[in-house]
Amino acid sequence: MRGVVMHAPGDVRVEEIDGPKITAPTDAIIRLSATCVCGSDLWPYRGVDAVDQPTPMGHEYVGIVEEVGSEVRNVKPGQFVVGSFVSSDGTCEICRAGYPSSCVHRVFMNEVGTQAERALIPNADGTLVATPGMPDADLIPSLLAASDVLGTGWFGAVAAQAGPGKRVAVVGDGAVGLLAVLAAKQLGAEQIIAMSRHESRQKLAREFGATDIVTERGDEGVAKVKELTGGLGAHSVVEAVGTQESMQQAIRSTRPGGNVGFVGVNHDVALSGEELFFAQVNLLGGPAPVRQYLPELIDLIWERKINPGKVFDLTLPLEQAAEGYRAMDERRAIKTLLTP
Ligand SMILES: [Zn+2]
């Protein structure tokens, strides 16, 4: 089958790779209806993460079940399914406590690679959620968004305790940051401040529910958030970048007693203990427990109450994946959808 393989930073190829085979009775194989390029795929693309050997790429997916192992009960061939970017059993104590992305049997789907025609899904029963039926074509981008960026933005907003009466700020205007805005709106936040310098992204943030836009960064950005929140800082801040600057900006924009949800994949962030001590904020982050939110998110999409698929502003055939990476790297595209 055809699949995306990264050979070195900046070198993405679509080539013939081995198709998936069921080896465990809990596995399933899906045929991808759509897949996409993630902001986190840009870390190796830009050489920030090492690429030691040719690596199959991708961890976001929706598709149709082709085959299941002998112990799979919750999904069957022919069903349209959405799954998280982390496979989880759904039964261990960590899963039952609401953190399937830290499941004791977790498999990060980037180890499998979903930018391909088909993909192996380990722990199928705990990982996949079937939609009520075959989705209309226009729902597929939104269902695909649920696989990672929507679920991750949602977790960021939940971890930051966005809700009624809350003033929320979102650091980062990539797909996750924009969908954290959407999540904060759905969760009933009173004020949603999106931090963005890019006009097209500001526009989408407004569409998703942002009430204010802050273009400043660093200390100036923090000052602006404080100015918009009665001088105190936001109750809830979502960090959706993962750099030193964005983490500091998030923590410093939060009022004492407030909550930071940090969902940008951290790269070399070092926080001062003294600053943390006096900031007096709650911090919760990590790989988002997307699977926990999937049934609710699929419902909202199916009922057409939210349209997170709007973050895909470039759609290409799988064969043109290299251009999809380039466009995101150069920030010409927010997010690239690939059709196998
Ligand atoms: Zn588990």
CA of residue 84 to ligand 1 center, whole Å: 13
CA of residue 15 to ligand 1 center, whole Å: 34
CA of residue 118 to ligand 1 center, whole Å: 24
**Contact present, 180 and 280 (Cβ < 8 Å):** no
CA of residue 22 to ligand 1 center, whole Å: 20
CA of residue 93 to ligand 1 center, whole Å: 6
CA of residue 230 to ligand 1 center, whole Å: 43
- Start-end of H helices in the chain: 42-45, 93-96, 124-127, 140-146, 149-159, 175-186, 199-208, 218-228, 244-252, 273-279, 290-302, 321-329
CA of residue 96 to ligand 1 center, whole Å: 7
| Same fold for the pair 2-148+289-339 and 151-285 | no
CA of residue 133 to ligand 1 center, whole Å: 27
Q: Where are the domains of the chain?
A: 2-148+289-339, 151-285
Share of the chain above pLDDT 90, in %: 97
CATH number (3.20.80.10, 3.90.1150.10, 2.40.30.20, 3.40.50.720) of 151-285 reads 3.40.50.720
**Contact present, 161 and 323 (Cβ < 8 Å):** no
How far apart (Å, rounded) are the C-alpha atoms in residues 285 and 283?
7
Beta-bridged to residue 83, according to DSSP, are: 128
Please write the tens of the pLDDT for every residue from 121-135: 999 999 999 999 999
CA of residue 94 to ligand 1 center, whole Å: 6
Position 29 scores a pLDDT of: 98
pTM for the model: 0.96
How far apart (Å, rounded) are the C-alpha atoms in residues 165 and 191?
8
CA of residue 129 to ligand 1 center, whole Å: 15
Average pLDDT, the chain: 97
User: In degrees rounded to 5, what are phi and psi of residue 250?
Assistant: -65, -50
Q: At what angle do helices 218-228 and 244-252 cross, to 10 degrees?
A: 30
Across the range 145-162, mean pLDDT stands at 98
Asked whether the predicted pLDDT for residue 305 surpasses 90, the reply is yes
Asked whether the predicted pLDDT for residue 208 surpasses 90, the reply is yes
User: In degrees rounded to 5, what are phi and psi of residue 170?
Assistant: -120, 120
CA of residue 122 to ligand 1 center, whole Å: 12
Position 267 scores a pLDDT of: 87
CA of residue 117 to ligand 1 center, whole Å: 27
CA of residue 294 to ligand 1 center, whole Å: 16
2-148+289-339 — its CATH code?
A: 3.90.180.10
Find the angle CA(161)-CA(293)-CA(340) to the nearest 5 degrees.
130
**Contact present, 72 and 128 (Cβ < 8 Å):** no
Cβ atoms < 10 Å from Cβ of 81: 25
CA of residue 83 to ligand 1 center, whole Å: 14
